[in-house]
A = this chain, B = another copy of it.
Amino acid sequence: MARPLSEEKRDALLKAASDLVARLGTGASTAKIAKAAGVSEGTLFTYFPTKDDLLNQLFIEIEARFALTMLAPYPLDASAKDRLFIVWSRLIEWGLDRSTSRKALRQLKVSDRVTLESRQRCHALFREARLMVEQCLAEHSAPERVAFYIDTILFDLADITINAIAAKPKERDAIRQAGFDLFWKGTAA
């Protein structure tokens, strides 16, 4: 191995892919992505053997960063509701701060180029966050519905809420609160 793969270039490629997939969908061409990353068309393929691979890596990378955000320590002494509100707020903030990532993710989620395996791997990344939420809901919700609330509702409801905020940025805090209230009340036993 003459030269090691450059982490810098890999990141630039993923960043460029994120931007372009967000804007153009998964049809964004590898040539454009390479150009936006400041590397040559061929180089893209030394970092990612195929475009599908790039897309899957991108998906995983974004989800991983997202999961990391959710992992920051939580005040253990706060009430379940307060702790859940912190989770909720982090979900919302991440989506608003990383709007490009979120848009890219939205495209990737509906694409059949992102494999089931990638999706499952990412699911696992949120285990800790999920456990946290589980604790919050333990005394609040009907036990048989907790899984549904967490796996199905929580993230997507946050997504919907982010969309609503994106449409009316001035009402940011009100919408965030309205979304949370809906979830909290809706999940009560």
Question: Residues of A with Cβ closer than 8 Å to B?
Answer: 2, 23-27, 40, 42, 106-107, 110-112, 145, 148-149, 152-153, 156-157, 160-161, 163-164, 175, 178, 181-188
Q: Is the CB of A156 within 8 A of B156?
A: yes
Residues of B within 8 A of A163 (CB): 152
In the bound complex, do residue A175 and residue B156 qualify as a contact, i.e. CB atoms below 8 Å apart? Answer: no
Q: Which of A42, A178, A181, A187 has the most CB of B within 10 A?
A: A178
| Number of identical monomers bound together in the oligomeric complex | 4
A178 & B112 in contact (Cβ 8 Å cutoff): no
| In the complex, residue of chain B having the shortest beta-carbon distance to the beta carbon of A185 | B186
Instruction: Write out the residue numbers on chain B whose beta carbons fall within 8 Å of the beta carbon of A178.
Output: 145, 148
B112 touching A25, Cβ below 8 Å: yes
Complex Cα gap A24–B2 (Å): 29
B152 touches A164 (CB 8 A): yes
Q: Are A112 and B145 in contact (CB under 8 A)?
A: no
A56 smallest CB distance to B (angstroms): 16
Interface pair B160/A153, CB less than 8 Å apart: yes
Asked if B164 contacts A111 (CB within 8 A), the reply is: no
Other-chain residue from B42, B152, B187 in contact with A160 (beta carbon distance below 8 A): B152
